[in-house]
Amino acid sequence: VSLGERPRVLIAGGGFAGLYAALELERRLREEEAELELVAPENFMTYLPLLPEVASGRAEPRHVVVPLRRALARTRVTLGELRGLDPRRRVALIAPAGDGREHEQGYDQVVIALGSVSKLAPIPGLVEHAVGFQTLTEAIHLRNQVLACLEVAQSTRDPQARRRALTFVFVGGGYAGVEALAELEDLARDACRAYPDLSRADMRWVLVEAAERILPSLDERLGAGAAHVLRARGVELRLGCQLRSVAERRLELSDGGHLETDTLVWMTGIQPHPLAARLGLECDQQGRLRVDRCLRVPGPGAAWSAGDCAAVPDGRGGCQPPSAQHAEREGRQLAVNLARVLRGSEPQPFRYRSRGEFVTLGDGKAIAQVLGRRLDGRAAWTLRRGYYLTRMPSPDRRARLALDWLAGLPFARDTAQLGSAQHPDRPLQAAKAAS
Ligand SMILES: Cc1cc2nc3c(=O)[nH]c(=O)nc-3n(C[C@H](O)[C@H](O)[C@H](O)COP(=O)(O)OP(=O)(O)OC[C@H]3O[C@@H](n4cnc5c(N)ncnc54)[C@H](O)[C@@H]3O)c2cc1C
């Protein structure tokens, strides 16, 4: 393993923590001070808080991602995956996207920012029949799925198939679940006006939540406000209830009920990326990498970590929550500290307290808690959009997203169902069959 003359900093992960760490390192360190490399499986960073609007068609998928090669001026971007680490030798095992053949790569400092994955449960049939809501692919799929179900309901003559197509079940009432359901219900409510034989009253939208209330991580009054808005829109909240099994399209629930559906969305929370616990570094019981308040992983590996895969102390005996606003700031502070260490200075502790939270509930509707004040309706919705526009880390993306949102004011929502884009082989196969 050969190291260049400059210290080599390897960043694994191109999400909030990884991208902001790289941007800040570029700002803090001169080119001759360090060689920067970022490894990620995609060549873009996904702005995950905007996924619900991708699902509802209010934001174009390409406008909520930031191309890493454009955003980063002098960080070498390698498309691939971190597969392992040998902290004592300071060697990372990398599998590049092209041939996937693993190779060893030396580093002087390594940043682990792998984020999280959907938390699963041992429910029979779950993985085979449900879809999650953690990635751009899932958001695009769900939009197409909801529109495809409306098409099925309009065209089928089988009443059972129609009922199944018009039943949408979401499991998990955290903010991502609530936002996804609310945005997709809004899309379906809008879209069904274009179908002669469909109305909102024909549809059934169900949210299954194990706790006695939705949005358990937020202020109780915010959760109650969101529940009120959803119920007023006809969403069925099954609280204190769990999914027990999934067989084909039939769901068994813990309250003895069952549902038949073509659309099951599983979003009961997240777990740290499983690789974090296999890197030979110290982890907590949840599988998050232990870091000190300066975001250093203890031990010999010169490792740092931030974001959803790290247990970042909050200075009050607990850990910082897994959120975009924390991951972004942790990534920046990590870079500041890493630069200080390379220059022989002491790192500084990470300090941040959230100033607010937003939950979108569809077009023109949201709830928020900002600087201790509760807001709802259009005011909260406008503030949320303004906030995300200012936080987008690229002027190009800011402009494109603003144009999407402006176009949404006078024009009706686009309800084209592009699900066939997932099957590019079909036209040639059809041509072959026809000839
Ligand atoms: C639907 C949804 C809505 C959300 N809404 C909000 C919100 O409103 N407000 C808020 O604050 N937070 C929100 N969050 C949470 C927030 O997005 C996350 O907390 C944040 O993205 C965490 O940042 P991260 O850098 O740790 O992980 P991520 O941003 O997920 O980045 C992880 C990166 O690691 C990469 N990676 C994975 N495996 C490997 C590997 N083996 N090698 C190299 N790279 C790898 C991934 O491709 C990705 O680039 C939401 C999340 C979701 C899913």
pLDDT in tens, 384-414: 999 999 999 889 999 999 999 999 999 888 8
Q: Which residues line ligand 1 (CB under 6 A)?
A: 12-18, 39-42, 48-49, 51, 81-82, 113-115, 133-134, 176, 273, 275, 307-309, 322-325, 327
Predicted local distance difference test score (pLDDT) of residue 3: 45
Contact (CB, 8 A) for 170 and 208? yes
Backbone dihedral region for residue 164 (phi beyond 0: left; psi -120 to 50: alpha; all else: beta) = alpha
Contact (CB, 8 A) for 197 and 154? yes
**pLDDT above 70: residue 1:** no
Predicted local distance difference test score (pLDDT) of residue 423: 80
3 state SS of 98: coil
Cα-based angle 176, 126, 238 (whole degrees, multiple of 5): 55
- CA–CA dist 139, 65 (Å, integer): 13
**pLDDT above 70: residue 358:** yes
Contact (CB, 8 A) for 230 and 262? no
Confidence band of 371 (pLDDT split at 50, 70, 90): confident
DSSP H or E segment with residue 359: strand 356-360
Atom of ligand 1 nearest to the CA of 47: 17
Tokens linked to 55: 């699902």
Higher pLDDT, 421 or 278: 278
Atom of ligand 1 nearest to the CA of 42: 47
- CA–CA dist 340, 399 (Å, integer): 35
- CA–CA dist 11, 80 (Å, integer): 12
Q: Give me ligand 1 centre to Cα 201, in Å.
A: 36
Q: Give me ligand 1 centre to Cα 382, in Å.
A: 24
Mean pLDDT estimate for the chain:
94
Q: Give me ligand 1 centre to Cα 315, in Å.
A: 23
Predicted local distance difference test score (pLDDT) of residue 243: 98
DSSP H or E segment with residue 91: strand 91-96
**Burial bucket for residue 88 (CB in 10 Å: 0-12, 13-18, 19+):** exposed
Q: Give me ligand 1 centre to Cα 253, in Å.
A: 30
Contact (CB, 8 A) for 55 and 263? no
Predicted local distance difference test score (pLDDT) of residue 2: 43
Whose Cα sits closest to atom 1 in ligand 1? 176
Hey, which of 85, 134, 323, 370 would you mutate to test ligand 1's pocket, going by the most ligand atoms within 8 Å of its Cβ? 323
Q: Give me ligand 1 centre to Cα 134, in Å.
A: 8
Predicted local distance difference test score (pLDDT) of residue 315: 93
The closest alpha carbon to 67, from 58, 56, 57, 75, belongs to: 75
The closest alpha carbon to 199, from 207, 189, 209, belongs to: 189
Atom of ligand 1 nearest to the CA of 327: 23
Confidence band of 4 (pLDDT split at 50, 70, 90): low
Whose Cα sits closest to atom 30 in ligand 1? 115
Exposure string over 238-266, b if 16+ CB within 10 A, otherwise e: beebbbeebeebebbbeeeeebebbbbbb
- CA–CA dist 137, 50 (Å, integer): 13
pLDDT tens per residue across span 127-136: 999 999 999 9
Hey, which of 11, 48, 94, 328 would you mutate to test ligand 1's pocket, going by the most ligand atoms within 8 Å of its Cβ? 48
Hey, which of 10, 11, 16 would you mutate to test ligand 1's pocket, going by the most ligand atoms within 8 Å of its Cβ? 16
Mean pLDDT of 21-28: 98
Higher pLDDT, 259 or 427: 259
254-263, 306-315, 335-344, 353-362, range with the lowest pLDDT: 353-362
- CA–CA dist 384, 359 (Å, integer): 8
